[in-house]
A and B are shown apart, each in its own frame.
Chain A
């Protein structure tokens, strides 16, 4: 069968049953939009969780009597404690700059001396570990000579992290169900379109058409419906994403690859849906 004929038969299929084709396209678009939106939500929750993990750090205030050599040695000792991934020294001057950046110069100018102590910011590589474990590390650091105080505020972070984990799990499960559901609905929808052509397919066989001759334009039609649905969904998702990005600063943006994945997924849905539907009649 020539390519020209396949494309003619496919485009004729669209023309002859444009109503049901449009319905298929809209169904695919709706499910892909839902899928894309859920994927966006899931990705943002994961991103949020990562941000929370990045904030798992201790502030270790050190005695003002330590000289540079002692500070260096203390930094080395803290680095060797299990669970510590990074130790950054924050001098009194750097702390003052940070303070002024956050609270303004006026407040700081009113003070005659810099009251801020030197400190270490200790990053922990123990994302997802218990609060008890973090307390353990904090106590261990506090035992070091030259350490005045160890400060951490993990309660809120842990709570947020727990919520984020539940939300992430829920959204991924939902994503899985929507994917399976969309395959089922799209396949059924295409099946209805093909079922309406049952008589035609049977007559085609009687006049000597091979299964491939009948199947190819129908599968191409299904695949193109999937592609058209994906383009619609991509446009919709891009629109939703740009509005949300304006409303929620820091929201993870849709990468261009995700639109390509959506397009491929749409084509695959249409292809598989029509293949499964035709199997019944050929």
Chain B
């Protein structure tokens, strides 16, 4: 479903990733673990094609980084759900509208949007805060909204870039529970984190990365 083959990305300062090869199967939970600056976010960026590989290739569903056109990238991203450490919610609209945006992008009908958004908010336990603004929620709640926005479109793969990085341990556990529940229902998850101790507590495949390369 998602496959990276000998991927190399080099930034202007010489840093980047090299020889990255792995795949994520449908329904799988994969942790990409490594210290800060190891290249985790760059790996995720190659998957949502914010960065195209200098060498090697990335395949996401029917899209291949070797052949994808610029205009196709938004359509690729609609097959993915992305969650960031800093939540990246739309500060100018309420929780319902934040989650609904993903569906508006694909042109879903209003009735359908309402049904799916309420279901996604229920999945993350925030139905009662649908009309709150992001800044009225705690960090953990904002991350749940970001997860709801990422899963509302039932993506092929949920990419989570340090989703618990800004949260206290209890709240982080709560977020992990939400992610595991989503994974149990069949959504593949690739989660980048520097917290090796935390991921060991959960089932799932662990891929280690350091200095831009996968390590055994």
Q: List residues of A whose CB falls within 8 A of some B CB.
A: 1-2, 5, 12, 16-17, 197, 199-200, 203-211, 213
Q: What residues of B have a CB within 8 angstroms of the CB of A209 in the complex?
A: 74, 101, 105
B48 touching A206 by the CB < 8 A rule?
yes
Cβ contact within 8 Å between B104 and A203:
no
- Provide the B74-98 mask, 1 if CB < 8 A to any CB of A, else 0: 1111101010000011111100000
Across-interface contacts of A12 in B (CB, < 8 A):
93
A17 touches B74 (CB 8 A): no
Mostly helix, strand, loop or mixed at chain A's interface? helix
Q: With the chains together, A189 CA to B50 CA distance in Å? A: 29
Q: Are B48 and A5 in contact (CB under 8 A)?
A: no
**A70 to B71 Cα, complex, angstroms:** 87
B21-50 toward A: CB 8 Å interface, digit per residue (1/0)? 000000000000000000000000000101
Return A175 CB to nearest CB of chain B, in Å: 38
Q: How far is the CA of A205 from the CA of B71 in the complex (A)?
A: 12
Residues of B93-138 contacting chain A, CB below 8 A: 93, 101-102, 104-107
Residues of A within 8 A of B77 (CB): 205-208
Given A2-B107, A213-B105, do A203 and B78 touch, yes or no (CB 8 Å)?
A: no
A205 touches B88 (CB 8 A): no
Segment 48-73 of B: residues with Cβ below 8 Å from A: 48, 50, 71
By a beta-carbon cutoff of 8 Å, the part of chain B in contact with chain A is 48, 50, 71, 74-78, 80, 82, 88-93, 101-102, 104-107, 149
Q: Looking across the interface, which residue of chain A has its beta carbon closest to that of B82?
A: A206
Q: What's the count of A-B pairs with C-beta under 8 Å? A: 51
What separation, in Å, do the CA atoms of A64 and B26 have in the docked complex? 115
Taking A5-B104, A207-B105 as contacts, is the C-beta distance between A200 and B149 under 8 angstroms? no
Contact: B74 with A208, CB < 8 Å? yes
Q: Which residues of B contact A207 (CB under 8 A)?
A: 77-78, 82, 101-102, 105, 149
Cross-chain contact B92 with A197 (CB below 8 angstroms): yes
Least CB distance from B51 to A in Å reads 13
* Residues of A with C-beta under 8 A to B80: 208
- Provide the bound-state CA to CA distance between A197 and B92, in Å: 9
Tell whether, in the assembled complex, residue B90 and residue A200 are in contact, meaning their CB atoms are under 8 Å apart. yes
Residues of A within 8 A of B78 (CB): 207-208
B88 A208 Cβ-Cβ under 8 A:
no
Cβ–Cβ < 8 Å partners of B105 in chain A? 204, 207-210, 213
Q: What chain A residues lie within 8 Å of B102 (beta carbons)?
A: 207-208
Q: Which of A16, A197, A204, A210 is the one whose CB lies under 8 Å from B101?
A: A204
- Chain A neighbourhood of B93, CB < 8 A: 12, 16
| Cβ–Cβ < 8 Å partners of B90 in chain A | 200, 203-204
When chains A and B are docked, how far (Å) is the Cα of A206 from the Cα of B71? 13
Shortest Cβ distance from B159 into A: residue: A206
Chain B residues with Cβ under 8 A from A17's Cβ?
A: 92
Cα distance A140–B82 when bound, in Å? 92
